[in-house]
Structure 1
Amino acid sequence: MNDYNRGVIGGDIDTDVGLKSFMLGTYRWMALAMGVTATVAFMVGQAILADPSLLGIIYNPIVAIVSFGIIVFGFGAVGRKLPSMSMGGVLAFLFGFAAFMGVLMSAYASLYNPMIVAKIFFMTVAMFAALSMFGYTTGFNLNAVIKYAMAAFLAYIVIGFVGMFVPALSVFGGGLFGTIINVVALGAIALITAWETQTLKRIYYGTRGDTDMMNKASAFGAASLLLAFINMFTILMNLFGRE
C-alpha cells in the first residue's frame, strides 16, 4: 500500500500525459462553473441594488443553515450515485451548484468595492493555484492530516452559524477573535484544497480505462474544487476585504 501511494502521488507521475489531460479538463470545468457563479452573482447583485429588501431574504441565519444542508446533501448524493449517473446529470449538478453559489455570493457584487473584490479574487487565484500545484506534486500523503483540517473547517462553519446569533463571535465582523478564526480556517481550506487535488490524481488512476467514469469524476471534482475556491475567497474577504 505504501508503494502504491508513492507511485500515485510522487513526482515521477507528473510526466503522465493522461493525468495532465484529466487535471486540465477538471480545471476547465471549474473555470466554466466559476463563470456561471460570477454571472449569477452579478445579476442577483444588480437585483439587490434595485431592491435592497432582497438582501434580508438571501442573507439570514435560516437561509444559511438550509444552504449548508443543501450543499452537504447534494455532494453526498451525487458522490454516491456518480457511477450510475449520466454525464449530463453530473454537469447539471455542477452548473446548478455554481448558480446556487452565485446567489449566495451576490453580496460581493452589490455591497463591496469592486476594486477590493477584484484584488481578493486574484489573491485567491494565486493561492489556489499554488496549493493545487503543491497537491499535484507533493509526495506526502495528505490523508494523514486531512481529518484535522476538516475538523478545523467544520468548527469554523459552526462558529460562523453561532456568530449570526451572537455578534461577538461573528467571523465576518473583524476584531481579534474573528481574525484568529479566519486565519485558522484559511489554513484548513488550504490543506483541503491540496488534498482534493491529490485525491483527483488517485481518482484518475482508479478510473483510467473507463472514459465515461473519468469524465464524470472530472466534472464532479470541478464542483469540489469550486467550493474550496469560494470558501478560500470568502475567508480572504473576511480578512482583507474591509475598506
Structure 2
Amino acid sequence: MNDYNNGVIGGNADTDVGLKTFMLGTYRWMALAMLTTAGTAYIVAQAMLANPTLIGLVYNPVTAIAMFLIIVFGFGAVGKKLHTMSMGGVLTFLFGFAGFMGVMMSAYAFMYDPMIVARIFFMTVAMFAGLSLFGYTTGFNLNAIVKYAFAAFMAFVLIGLVGMFVPALSVFSGGTFGMIINFVALAAIAVITAWETQTLKRIYYSLGNDQAMLAKYSAFGAASLLLAFINMFTILMNLFGRD
C-alpha cells in the first residue's frame, strides 16, 4: 500500500485534483476532531474546577501509562481492521479518540494563562501547516529517516513516564535536561508529521478510485494527524509555555 510510484505521483491534473480533495477532506475531519478535543477539554476543566478531587483521577502515572497503551493499541487495532470497518466505525474511533485526548488536555484549560495557551496553539498551527506542506510537496522519501524519529519520540515518551516517578527526569519541569529532551522530541515529531502527510499521499495513489476506502483513510489519517498536532502542542508548551 505504501509503494511510491514517482510516475503516478506526477500524473495528470485530474489525479492531482483528486489528491487535493482527499487531503482537504482529511484536514476537515481533523479540524472537526480538534474542535471536539477543545470542547471536551473545556467541559472537563470546568468539572475539575467544581470538584478538584477529579484532578487526581485524571493526572497520575497510572492514567498516563493507560493513555499511552490505549493510543498504541487503539491505532494498531483500527489500522488492521480498517478495510473491514464501516465508515461509521472509523468516525466513531476518530471522535472518540478526540474526546479522549480532550480529557487528557483539560489541564491546559485551567492551569495555564489562556493567552499563553493561545500563543502556543497558533505557533503549533503554523509549524504543523509548514511541515504538512513540506510532506505534501517534497520528493524525498521520508521513510529513510522516520524510523529514527519514531525511536527518538518513543524515548521521549518513556522518559516522560519515568519522570512521573523520578522528578529529576521530568520532561515538564524545565532545566537543561528537560529542554534538550523536548527539543529532540520536537525534531522527531516534525519528521513524523511530514512523513504522515507523505504517507497519506501514497495511500491515495495506491487506492486508485476506491472511494469507500479513501473516505475511511481520510478519517483515520485525520486521527493520526491530530495526535501529531497534540504532541507538537504539548512539547511547545513544555518549551515555551512558562510565564
TM-score when normalising by structure 2: 0.96
Please state if 1:205 is matched with 2:208. Answer: no
Deviation of 1:234 (Å): 0.2
Distance 2:122 2:11 in 1: 28
Instruction: Determine whether 1:34 maps to 2:34.
Output: yes
Deviation at 1:196, TM superposition (A): 0.0
Distance 1:115 1:223 in 2: 27
* SS in structure 1 at match of 2:112: coil
Distance 1:240 1:111 in 2: 15
- Alignment partner, residue 235 of structure 2: 235
One-letter amino acid matched to 1:107:
A
* 1:55 Cα deviation after fit: 1.0
Deviation at 1:50, TM superposition (A): 1.3
Q: Could you tell me how far apart the structure 1 residues matched to 2:237 and 2:56 are? A: 20
RMSD: 1.7
What are the Cα deviations for residues 52-79 of structure 1, in whole angstroms up to 9, with x where unaligned? 2211110000000011101111100000
Match of 2:69 in 1: 69
SS at structure 1 position matched to 2:82: helix
- Gap regions ≥5 residues in structure 1: none
Equivalent position of 2:130 in the other structure: 130
1:23 aligns with 2:3: no
**Equivalent in the alignment of 1:226:** 226
Q: Which protein is richer in helix relative to its size?
A: 1
- 1:92-241, aligned counterparts within 5 Å? 92-241=92-241
TM-score norm. by structure 1 comes to 0.96
Contact 1:65 1:161 (C-alpha < 8 Å) held by counterparts: yes
Asked whether the equivalents of residues 163 and 169 of structure 1 are also in contact (C-alpha less than 8 Å), the reply is yes
Equivalent-residue separation in structure 2 for 1:129 and 1:148 (angstroms): 22
Query: Would the alpha carbon gap of residues 231 and 13 (structure 1) be closer, same or farther in structure 2, given more than 3 Å must change?
Result: farther
Counterpart CA distance in 2 for 1:14 and 1:159 is 47
Contact residue 44 and residue 103 of structure 1 kept, 8 A: yes
Structure 1: distance between partners of 2:141 and 2:80: 24
What is the alpha-carbon distance in structure 2 between the residues aligned to residue 132 and residue 139 of structure 1?
13
What residue ranges of structure 2 are gaps of 5+ in the alignment? Answer: none
CA–CA distance in structure 2, aligned partners of residues 175 and 188 of structure 1: 20
Question: CA–CA distance in 2 between the matches of 1:8 and 1:238?
Answer: 41
* 1-structure distance, mates of 2:163, 2:189: 20
